[in-house]
Chains A and B, each alone.
Chain A
């Protein structure tokens, strides 16, 4: 019985920690790799979708190297899953997303 309780406890900790990871937030400046980003129709479409996130102040899309730099409004943050959804809605998949500080 004890071992079952221990297993359940470990399992529940695992779930909690996974949930915490999924709710990853970014602040200040974010660099996001976007797979398949090449043409202007796509790039501006992605920009259009990302503009719907109120916390974003400035969007710079680098079509040549297929990444997007987002500058967030001071004191505001954005969830990783929200970014991924907007990229998906624009017809792309996300590569690496990382915080790059106040660039």
Chain B
């Protein structure tokens, strides 16, 4: 009987050790905490967010428009009659709008409207990003990334599931001479150098179901796990750091700005903001 009690106590002690270890480890991993949700006007369905110098723009492809809002959720400006504007980008006062139905990337300023002239014909541009010298476009139905350097453009990628191949890319981001691609229906993010040479994969074994949106900042990669209602946080080595779920409902885009992380929830009229601890 004494022996049984001794074994029982030993097991209980070991279990307790494991639990405390787990809690400590989880706590260490928490970097982001829920800050606030912004309720948008009822009909808005935000697919993507772009922020620069306190200007907040959203794409609302369901209503064929992009909107400028403030933190009180008031609509300050809008561009309407677009043809399914998808993942937008705001850089140096220029708003880049990939139009899914017209296969164009519009470049808008306060006083001008232009479109990118490319050699490679797009088929459903889903996202655009701009660096100091390059523009990258996720070319959804061509399963590739079109990259423009100065006035020339070329592409990399093709349909498939091997390294460097895509199955419907939906978002693209530059970060420190690398190009990150949300390879949506391969459920992963792929990383390339700035000429399109494959480097690595992030999130392949994280159980993602449609990796539709992403952003990268100092030691953080955020990926929307669209069908699982999650945003996954990785470090730059590809290790998962945190999983965000609070107030997230069908996330299609995420952006990292200063010490905040913003999520566009497409199936609700809501943005979710997390802040760094």
Contact = CB atoms under 8 A, between A and B. Distances in A.
Interface string A29-57: 00000000011110011011001000000
Interface in A34-91: 38-41, 44-45, 47-48, 51, 91
Interface residues of B, number: 21
A45 B100 contact: yes
Chain A contact surface mostly: helix
B44 interface: no
B61 interface: yes
Contacts of A91: 168
B140 A39 contact: no
A47 to B, nearest CB: 7
Interface in B194-223: 210, 212
B170 A44 contact: no
B124 interface: yes
A30 to B, nearest CB: 20
Contacts of B190: none
A42 B231 CA distance: 20
Contact of A41 (B45, B62, B170): B170
A40 B124 contact: no
Contacts of A48: 84, 100-101, 124, 141
A47 B47 CA distance: 17
Contacts, number: 38
Contact of A45 (B124, B226, B227, B266): B124
Nearest to B84: A44
Contacts of A40: 45, 47, 61-62, 252, 266
Interface residues of A, number: 10
Interface string B250-270: 001000000000000010000
A48 B103 CA distance: 10
B79 to A, nearest CB: 18
A40 B100 CA distance: 11
A38 B212 CA distance: 13
Given A39-B252, A41-B212, A48-B141, 6 more contacts: A44-B86, A44-B100, A44-B101, A47-B101, A48-B101, A51-B101
Interface of B: 45, 47, 61-62, 84, 86, 100-101, 124, 126, 140-141, 168, 170, 184, 210, 212, 226-227, 252, 266
Interface of A: 38-41, 44-45, 47-48, 51, 91
